[in-house]
Structure 1
Amino acid sequence: MHPYPQASLWILVIAAVTLFWVALTDLREFRIPNELVLALVGLYLLYALVSGQWVTMRWNIGFALLMMAGMIYAYWQQQMGGGDLKLLAAAFLWTGPWNALLFAILLLVFVGVHYAAVRLGWAAAQRSGTRLRIPLAPAVAGALIGTFALGFAMPAFQGA
């Protein structure tokens, strides 16, 4: 199958808009809708097919499953919500093992900024006993969109 760089770019734009919507929903309601996570997974599959990256799809799927298995422990320890787990698994599906480090660094930066905003009273948070719960989707969305901008779009246009 031949890559279609323009279609790939549009899929990334649609994925970014979907991520933005997920972030807004999590900020307002402290929940991540399953249908939006499924849309991100479907957009990844479509992106992999039209960008020519379908050959590495099995690595991305395996990596996402491996990361999800590790995150299940954090979920059991009540350190993350179920929606956060599903959204991060979808994000790791997009990054695969090759862009995961860039994504993780951006995620750390965005979580730090969000946490600082909560501590300064600029962003909402929920108290759960002695723990402070912040919505993770805005940080995941920012990190994945940043990964798209810094790493994804370039390979699609190298041959164009």
Structure 2
Amino acid sequence: MIIPASAAAWFLPFVLPICFYVAFTDMREMRIKNHAVLALAVVYLVIGLIALPPWSGPWNPGNLGPFTLSLPVYLWQLLHMVVVLIIGIVLNAAGVMGAGDAKFCAAAAAFVWVGDLMLVMVILTATLLGAFFAHRLAKHTPLRQIAPHWESWDRGKQFPMGLTLAGSLAVYLILGIIHGS
């Protein structure tokens, strides 16, 4: 994995409660709250300064369209938020994903290294399959009685993707602590 293990260790204690909250509220209300997305972004902005101090690390060259830039890792990761937010807005306008999902993906993008993108896709796929089947199983068994008024039980084919997205970010950071560079 490309993510530094030390950065993942700094981020995880702050990100994990937000991930639990996002998964819970998305199952309960079928919405990802803006304050949770904002909290995730603030975690990167603040803790990222400690985990990836821009003043002490190397500046990495990279391309931003036709322009070549040299920026610290902290700022490159911050740019991920902007790029993913633009993509999310387009996908939301096309009806492919919800606005909360798009905003959460944008905030979470800062925590994901580009070199780990294929691994993140594998984690996302595995988490999606596990979350989908666990949710559907709970929906059609007596487990549903634990939280009978959750909106996600009665939304037909709609699925609370916050459960998957938050779970994927948490798993990625956990694996980053174990296998990170």
Larger Rg belongs to = 2
Q: TM-score, normalised by structure 1?
A: 0.78
Q: CA deviation digits over 1:119-159, x for unaligned, max 9?
A: 544573513xxxx211111111111111111115765xx8x
Q: TM-score, normalised by structure 2?
A: 0.70
Q: CA deviation at 1:118?
A: 4.5
Determine the C-alpha separation between the residues in 1 that align with 2:171 and 2:154: 24
Gaps of 5+ in 2: 1-5, 55-71, 141-151
What is the DSSP-based 3-state SS (H/G/I as helix, E as strand, rest coil) of the residue aligned with 1:143? helix
Report if the CA contact (8 A) 2:8-2:176 is conserved.
no
Moved over 6 A (4+): none
Report if the CA contact (8 A) 1:12-1:148 is conserved.
yes
Matched, 1:135 2:157: no
Q: CA deviation at 1:97?
A: 1.7
Report if the CA contact (8 A) 1:106-1:146 is conserved.
yes
73-82 vs 46-55, which deviates more? Answer: 46-55
Partner of 1:126: 155
What value does the CA root-mean-square deviation take over the aligned residues?
A: 2.5
Matched, 1:61 2:78: yes
Report if the CA contact (8 A) 1:60-1:92 is conserved.
yes
Q: 1:19 to 1:119 in 2, by over 3 A?
A: closer
Matched, 1:93 2:110: yes
Q: 1:58 to 1:30 in 2, by over 3 A?
A: same
Partner of 1:78: 95
What is the DSSP-based 3-state SS (H/G/I as helix, E as strand, rest coil) of the residue aligned with 1:124? helix
Q: CA deviation at 1:72?
A: 2.2
The one-letter amino acid of 1:51's match is: A
What is the DSSP-based 3-state SS (H/G/I as helix, E as strand, rest coil) of the residue aligned with 2:110? helix
The one-letter amino acid of 1:16's match is: L
State the identity %.
28
Partner of 2:35: 35
Q: CA deviation at 1:61?
A: 2.1
Determine the C-alpha separation between the residues in 2 that align with 1:9 and 1:117: 28
Q: CA deviation at 1:52?
A: 2.7
Q: CA deviation at 1:42?
A: 0.6
Which structure is richer in relative contact order (CA contacts within 8 A, separation 6 or more)?
A: 2
Partner of 1:46: 46
Partner of 1:116: 133
Q: CA deviation digits over 1:8-38, x for unaligned, max 9?
A: 7454212101111111011111111111111
